Amino acid sequence: MRLQILQIMATYKKTGSKVKKSQENIDEKSTTAEVFNTLDETASKSEQWVIKNQKIILIALAAIVVGILGYLAYHKYVDGPKEKEAADELAFPKAYFEDAMANSVAADSLYTLALNGADGKYGFVDVANEYSGTKAGNLANYYAGLSYLKLKKYKEAIDYLEDFSSDDELLGPIAKGAIGDAFADINQPEDALDYYLKAADLKDNNFSSPLFLFKAGNTALEIGKNSKALDIFNRIKNDYPLSDEAKNIDIYIKKATFASEK
């Protein structure tokens, strides 16, 4: 009797297990079917939306294509030739500028020719105005600013240099530093200090960074910002030990330290 009961229980367990697995399979198939049904419904709704709005979609796609083709055409037939034309125009005043930099005799006259042009040729001012937005027009702002700085026309120098922008390792910092020089020359040392620091931090390198930090440190000393000057001189010593400015930097560190202790 006991043996029969055990056999029945074993049979029940096997049967129950099969029933449970069968039920799980049914549930899994049902869930899968629901997922596919949902996907079908979503796809069907998407198709209906596309069909309903196909005119708008086609118009939008056409607008995108026209925009791309227009941009490419502008770059090829308008922007490209304008860049070349601007570069050609820049060559004339640039030659006068380079002559002025190389010769101290009649330098002011050469800078003036570079700025205003001659013999029907554009100067830096014309190139900057007529070819605004081009690379050559941007460079014209840089050269015009330096030319005005050499002529001691500081307001004009600041205006043109502020209109210049560059990612170049040296041109960008030199332009910012030149603005600092202009402010220093018109006795605005606070502004000069600000631009010297901007010039030093714009591109971290062993030439422009210590050069403009040195100018910033001396300017800070002049206006009584002795602690700031000390920090700047220490920065030159620690960060740019191989630079020309670092050679005698200990003298300036002692000077700023002494001034800070007063």
Structure tokens at 165: 């922008």
CA 19 to chain centre: 69
Cα separations in angstroms, 247 against 88, 124, 251? 43, 38, 9
For the CA atoms of 103, 107, 111, 113, the dihedral, rounded to the nearest 10 degrees, stands at -100
Q: Which pLDDT value is given to residue 73?
A: 46
Residues in the chain: 262
H/E element holding 89?
A: helix 80-102
CB 115 within 8 A of CB 164: no
Q: How far apart are CA 42 and CA 34, in angstroms?
A: 12
Specify the pLDDT at position 98.
96
How many Å apart are CA 4 and CA 1, to the nearest integer? 5
The C-alpha atoms of residue 13 and residue 9 are separated, in whole angstroms, by 6
Res 115: pLDDT:
98
Please say whether the beta carbons of 220 and 255 come within 8 A: no
d(CA 24, CA 127): 80
Sequential pLDDT tens for the chain (262 residues): 444 444 444 444 544 444 444 454 544 555 555 554 665 566 566 666 667 666 676 676 666 665 554 544 444 444 557 899 999 999 999 999 999 999 878 899 999 999 999 999 999 999 999 999 999 999 999 999 999 999 999 999 999 999 999 999 999 999 999 999 999 999 999 999 999 999 999 999 999 999 999 999 999 999 999 999 999 999 999 999 999 999 999 999 999 999 988 7
Query: CA-CA distance, 161 to 45, in Å (whole number)?
Result: 59
- The predicted pLDDT at position 8 comes to 41
Q: Are 219 and 189 in contact (CB under 8 A)?
A: yes
Q: What does the pLDDT read at residue 246?
A: 97
Residue type present at position 112: T
The H or E element containing residue 21 is helix 2-52
User: What is the predicted pLDDT for the residue at 72?
Assistant: 47
Confidence at residue 166, expressed as pLDDT on a 0 to 100 scale = 95
Q: Are 123 and 84 a contacting pair, CB within 8 Å?
A: no
**Superfamily covering domain 173-262:** Tetratricopeptide repeat domain (1.25.40.10)
Give the start-to-end residue ranges of the domains of the chain: 57-165, 173-262
